[in-house]
Chains A and B, each alone.
Chain A
């Protein structure tokens, strides 16, 4: 187990190096000059040249990259061009919000998806099944900003059950988590349904039923745990995805997560922030997948650590 973790972390380092190199080259190949952007409209050519020099942008790309990596190894992501604050400070300040949204989003989607998927599988082909599948289809297809604005309008602006935006209390997280959850729940319901149908047709389920085990126990103890496997893998992917920031949801609810930071940085060509967020979310994807791989054998003993 320890060896697996070390091996995977080693691989993760290689991936991060690759991500850093590719992002770096892509960002510097952009036809937008951060120094001109920073200097603004009234700056003289001398001012632009001075800013370019101070930021080290006048050095060859490879020198800049080596310099960046050198700092990165020491945990230094550099300073934002526009905010002048350390990128690490900016990311850490927003990380709690992103983590809270991620965890609550995943909880909502798993809770709804698992329940609906199981119900649909049990009434396979029936009216309930069709209803659930249609609902999940709508959930998957509905654009997030529409869901977000709808929920906001109904539950915050009209009914005033929840605050319209912001961060800090449990009631602030309900609507954003629900918005995220509706989309994920659609996927989860579909996956759980097919996994459950598959499991319910297995011999051991028939055996359990033949022994006279109560249907409730058959489903909850024998079927659901075995149908969970694909869900675990999916949660691993979600961790990565949500850590990169869910730009639309964050924007509508004024959620101070990493997605908003990245979005603003892209518009301002704030390269250190874009690099930092890309690296952190790549790291999250790698770690998320690792967690999923580590948890899988615990749920299904047939999978052994390779």
Chain B
């Protein structure tokens, strides 16, 4: 049996960072920064927290076996020192870094890893990420309440963890890098119970010093963090309840360093054309695609020609202008940053005449009436109106139903309910930078169920089989082959046109002039804000 072995020196983590490009900038010592958000921070329990605000804070409070190089989608061992994968892809052996301590002073050992993953899967935790660990042997028993632990995780000694998988899963290393795989100390979790999310204890770059509910959270640097020169600031304070407009005014006056909610659309052009634009605005790509899901089980959208016609009817350039150009028109489900994205794929070009001809061929020369669901938060109703006008140009009258996100999600997950959904405000942002994460839940047969997120109710058994084939290529040496196979799944499914890929939205964050570093640590593809990497210029 051949073993694939990877050892990464600690130094590699640092030297590989894009920060090297900005070597002339020296981070100031002892800096504390202020970050604002409008909404409260929900919970910092890594097994439960699952929104774009707490995501980056949890990342910085806890450590995981695997991690990403800041600002990139490159996986590197983190709490693990090294790992081995068997050639059949069914066993992963990790050697843990020695001497890593939780912020309560106790050393992190192998049993903590086993406990943490089991806790994330245990139904009693009510964790949303349990399903990510589905490949581990014993998952069904624990998830179904028939067992207390995962038989597929073994800890031969304090610094070795072995994962046994029931099927090869090429995304498994990514899974060990997501927040749900964060390592927590059992004794603290058991003592705090459900309050652990308010009093988290981990072994990440920061510790939570204080949390004044509804007002602020104070994070302080973990002086014992195992990654050298990390973090680069002494602490950060997250102030919540801050209206984005007010946060921006405060940022311009130097009271705030990062306005987490970005720049309100009404202020965007003013700021963009202002004198400080280059210093203040960080604009970056993220793993996101905004799309219209076309329900393949609702008449007349069940006709592929109708769906293709709708694809050709949308003027994507115009829609990107509605979001002040903060997006790039898309022609396939995968965003450009994702492995497998096909830059040569053309998709459906904007062509009203061809769209009308297709509709006539399908037996609807005069169009038809349907409905378009959308989130009621700005700018989504305006985008829905633009789509409505585009559809009207080929005779399709779509009634707009602008609802609260929860109601749109509920309608999308009910068979036969929503004919079309504009995904904005609820759009898919990848959990980890791997194409499989863009397929299963939102385009695969598994997601086309009651309460699922496959709002197109699209189920193509052939593509599902190819998806499984791609995900069984767990040998990292076959990375490129796998990405190619995945890419073809996404471009081939466009022949069935279950989606209208509209645009890939870029994220915009506002930062104060004193903040340094490249844009991709403020819009990190796997973290949003990378608190471990941001710094204040000297």
Chain A residues engaging chain B, CB cutoff 8 angstroms: 30-33, 35-48, 50-51, 53-55, 79, 82-85, 89-90, 93-94, 97, 149, 152, 157, 164-167, 250-257, 260-261, 264, 267-269
Q: Which of B128, B195, B250 contacts A39 (CB 8 A)?
A: B128
Question: Could you tell me the distance between the alpha carbons of A44 and B407 in the complex, rounded to whole angstroms?
Answer: 19
Q: Which of B42, B124, B197, B451 contacts A33 (CB 8 A)?
A: B451
A19 CB, min distance to chain B CBs, angstroms? 22
Q: Could you tell me if B409 and A36 are in contact, using CB atoms closer than 8 angstroms? A: yes
Q: Could you tell me if A267 and B404 are in contact, using CB atoms closer than 8 angstroms? A: yes
Closest to B36 in A: A254
Q: Which of B311-356 contact A (CB under 8 A)?
A: none
Instruction: Convert B233-271 into 0s and 1s, putting 1 for each residue whose CB lies closer than 8 angstroms to a CB of A.
Output: 000000111110110011001010000000000000000
A32 CB, min distance to chain B CBs, angstroms? 4
Q: Could you tell me if B441 and A83 are in contact, using CB atoms closer than 8 angstroms? A: no
Pull 30 A–B residue pairs with CB atoms less than 8 Å apart, ordered by A: A31-B407, A31-B410, A32-B406, A36-B451, A41-B442, A42-B132, A46-B143, A46-B144, A47-B143, A50-B130, A51-B126, A53-B123, A54-B123, A54-B124, A54-B126, A55-B126, A79-B194, A82-B43, A83-B40, A85-B197, A85-B213, A89-B213, A90-B214, A93-B212, A165-B242, A251-B241, A253-B246, A254-B242, A256-B214, A267-B406
Q: Could you tell me if A254 and B213 are in contact, using CB atoms closer than 8 angstroms? A: no
B146 CB, min distance to chain A CBs, angstroms? 12
B130 CB, min distance to chain A CBs, angstroms? 5
| Known contacts A84-B194, A164-B255; is-contact A42 B407 (Cβ 8 Å) | no
Question: Could you tell me the distance between the alpha carbons of A32 and B406 in the complex, rounded to whole angstroms?
Answer: 5
Q: Could you tell me if B128 and A38 are in contact, using CB atoms closer than 8 angstroms? A: yes
B244 CB, min distance to chain A CBs, angstroms? 10
Chain B binding surface SS class: loop
Chain B residues engaging chain A, CB cutoff 8 angstroms: 38-40, 42-43, 45, 48, 50, 123-124, 126-132, 134, 143-144, 194-195, 197-198, 212-215, 239-243, 245-246, 249-250, 253, 255, 404-407, 409-411, 413, 428, 431, 437, 441-442, 446, 449-453
Q: Could you tell me if A167 and B215 are in contact, using CB atoms closer than 8 angstroms? A: yes
| Known contacts A32-B406, A84-B45, A264-B40; is-contact A165 B243 (Cβ 8 Å) | yes
A87 CB, min distance to chain B CBs, angstroms? 12
| Known contacts A46-B143, A46-B144; is-contact A250 B213 (Cβ 8 Å) | no
A246 CB, min distance to chain B CBs, angstroms? 13
Contacts of B45 in A (CB 8 A): 84
Q: Could you tell me if A32 and B410 are in contact, using CB atoms closer than 8 angstroms? A: yes
Contacts of A264 in B (CB 8 A): 39-40
Q: Could you tell me if B43 and A84 are in contact, using CB atoms closer than 8 angstroms? A: yes
B489 CB, min distance to chain A CBs, angstroms? 18
Q: Could you tell me if A38 and B126 are in contact, using CB atoms closer than 8 angstroms? A: yes
Q: Could you tell me if B246 and A33 are in contact, using CB atoms closer than 8 angstroms? A: no
Q: Could you tell me if A260 and B214 are in contact, using CB atoms closer than 8 angstroms? A: yes
Contacts of B132 in A (CB 8 A): 42
Question: Could you tell me the distance between the alpha carbons of A253 and B212 in the complex, rounded to whole angstroms?
Answer: 17
Contacts of B407 in A (CB 8 A): 30-32
Q: Could you tell me if B243 and A252 are in contact, using CB atoms closer than 8 angstroms? A: yes
Question: Could you tell me the distance between the alpha carbons of A69 and B10 in the complex, rounded to whole angstroms?
Answer: 56
Q: Which of B131, B243, B246, B249 contacts A47 (CB 8 A)?
A: B131
| Known contacts A42-B128, A47-B131; is-contact A31 B411 (Cβ 8 Å) | yes
